[in-house]
Amino acid sequence: MNIEDKLLLIRFNSDQSAHIKLNKDLCVDCEERGCLYVCPVNAYQIEGNEMTFDWSACLECGACRIVCSRGALNWEYPRGGFGVCFRYG
Amino acid sequence: MDERFDAIVVGSGPAGTTAALCMAREGLKVIVLERGEYPGSKNLFGGVMYTAILGKLVPKFWNEAPVERYVAKRRFNLLSETSSVSFEFSTKDFSDPPHNNSFIALRARFDRWYAQKAAEAGALLVPETDVIDVIRKDGKVVGVRTQRSEGDIYADVVIAADGANSLVAKKAGLRSDFSSDRFTTGIKEIIELPKEVISQRFGLEGNEGAAVTFGGYPSGILCGGFIYTNKDSLSVGVTTYLHSLVENKMQVSDLLETFKKHPMVKPLIEGGRAREYGAHLIPEAAYKGKMCDDGILVIGDAASLLNPSPIFLEGTNLAMASGMYAAQTIKAAKEKGDFSRRSLDLYPQLLEKSFVMQDVTKYGKIPEFVTKNPQFLTDYPDLLCQSAKELFTLDERPKAEKKALVRKIMTQNSSSLKVARDLYKAYRNLL
């Protein structure tokens, strides 16, 4: 099962603006790029040499926050009531 | 908000709700802030709800709580690519309530029910409210700032029960120990199957449930797999050290897909329909921060109160215990009218005296142990499977020869002495 199909199983109440802010400039010469491996929904992608991040599919697990060694993330939770909403959990 | 509270609880998981429930019953004015749409909507575990404390707070909770099945069977599997060596404990001795206080559950349902108990006891439960900072006055924590308009809330004490990522404990300056060697991540799917099919596949009757864990596969990664039987679905997932994923350049969702395809896992989940996918951090290493400060306490996952031993895998009971001790501490503080750090220091003392800190102290070094001794997850499961296969391969060789072969397999990467030492190390550190 691929991530796109899995995302269809999850209930989101997406906010208009990003709750995690990424300072892409710091990702350019990051060799580790741990975010690519630990994000359960592959929200981090490399396009060319640029890091992109799709916050709308975020499961709010915090794994990227923990592995980012560059301090490139301003990591906050979505506003109250927004974001992922587990029905089973 | 002009109203003042005795206590603000941030987060309505098992820890926060227990604290709120106990304080409300003591007549304290309590507000619980939950960032999700409802309590449990942001929460996820394997998993098993350990309910020894819950049973005291809500007698006969099993008659009303949305639990799935009780744990009647535990199976530990060590995997190679094609084989499995297992250890299983099954019993009929837990078939009467309280069922050994071990219930498989789904958090979005359970936490919602439990939070309602705190509300019934008098706590004011406010969902959809994210705490963005603590408010300090003269160095003391005196409240929290929320994103709502006029969203400053004041109280004598704030309880950070906001889970593994605890931004409240971080912003209050109580902890900074967020490094990738201290956390694992758990990702899981809910896979729907008919109740009878689940009972048949796992050898269960009635409301018996199984907690099945796996180690050794995919090889080379410090990870483990799990299957918990719900009533009519399975919780299927993997947990893995974040640094191990990064070092192996392994995508965590690929890890789960690989696990699901293992020949010993696949038939257990075959034909099921995926209903949900989720992820959560697990704070495995013992807390390095402060448990309390002037006007604030940290409980549950926010204080990394967890038993990560692969044999036990406990968290919810430690969370509830910490919530209960926090409530006792605040009650005593209120009687004295003193919410300073010195007064709140009763909380860590109560934790130290209980199983909570004793288990955390004993098992909180497991992340370091596993990282330093990867052979337990990367080598031994495969060697055990190879040995078992050799032992049970039927041919015309005498058994004494087989025994020698097994010895050779087990010591192929080291020596008998090293294996004996490893066995002792595993016994001391993991059990």
Final residue of a domain: which of B248, B283, B318? Answer: B283
The verdict on B25 and B120 lying in the same domain is: yes
The verdict on B110 and B162 lying in the same domain is: yes
Final residue of a domain: which of B283, B314, B329? Answer: B283
The verdict on B164 and B202 lying in the same domain is: no
What number is the ipTM of this complex?
0.97
Model pLDDT for residues B39-70, shown as the tens digit of each residue: 999 999 999 999 999 999 999 999 999 999 99
The verdict on B388 and B298 lying in the same domain is: no
pLDDT at B413 over 80: no
Containing structural domain, residue B215:
183-283
**What domain count does chain B have?**
3
CB-based burial, B356-392: b 16+ in 10 Å, e otherwise: bbebbebbbbbbeebeebebbbbbbbbbbbbbbebee
Percent of chain B with pLDDT over 90: 97
Model pLDDT for residues B79-121, shown as the tens digit of each residue: 999 999 999 999 999 999 999 999 999 999 999 999 999 999 9
Inter-chain CB proximity A34 and B190 less than 8 Å: no
Model pLDDT for residues B375-384, shown as the tens digit of each residue: 999 999 999 9
Contact residues, chain B, for A42 at CB < 8 Å: 251, 253
Q: Does B242 touch chain A (CB under 8 A)?
A: yes
Widest CA span in chain B: 85
The verdict on B14 and B127 lying in the same domain is: yes
State how far the Cα of B266 lies from the Cα of B269, in Å rounded to an integer. Answer: 6
B341 domain-assigned: yes
Report residue B146's pLDDT band, with 50, 70 and 90 as the boundaries: very high
Model pLDDT for residues B177-196, shown as the tens digit of each residue: 899 999 999 999 999 999 99
The verdict on B377 and B398 lying in the same domain is: yes
The verdict on B383 and B318 lying in the same domain is: no
The verdict on B299 and B271 lying in the same domain is: no
CA distance to partner chain A, nearest, from residue B86 (Å): 28
B91 domain-assigned: no
The verdict on B159 and B45 lying in the same domain is: yes
Q: Which domains does chain A have, with CATH numbers?
A: 3-76 (3.30.70.20)
Across residues A7-19, what is the average pLDDT? Answer: 94
B76 domain-assigned: no
Q: How high is the mean pLDDT of chain B?
A: 97
Across residues B225-230, what is the average pLDDT? Answer: 98
Final residue of a domain: which of B249, B283, B317? Answer: B283
The verdict on B62 and B141 lying in the same domain is: yes
The verdict on B315 and B347 lying in the same domain is: yes
pLDDT at B2: 64
B345 domain-assigned: yes
pLDDT at B149: 86
Report residue B1's pLDDT band, with 50, 70 and 90 as the boundaries: low
B88 domain-assigned: no
Task: Give Cβ neighbours of residue B77 (< 8 Å, ≥ 6 apart).
Answer: B84, B85, B86, B212, B213, B214, B215, B264
Q: Does B108 touch chain A (CB under 8 A)?
A: yes
pLDDT at B142 over 70: yes
Nearest CA in chain A to B246: A34
Across residues B345-352, what is the average pLDDT? Answer: 98
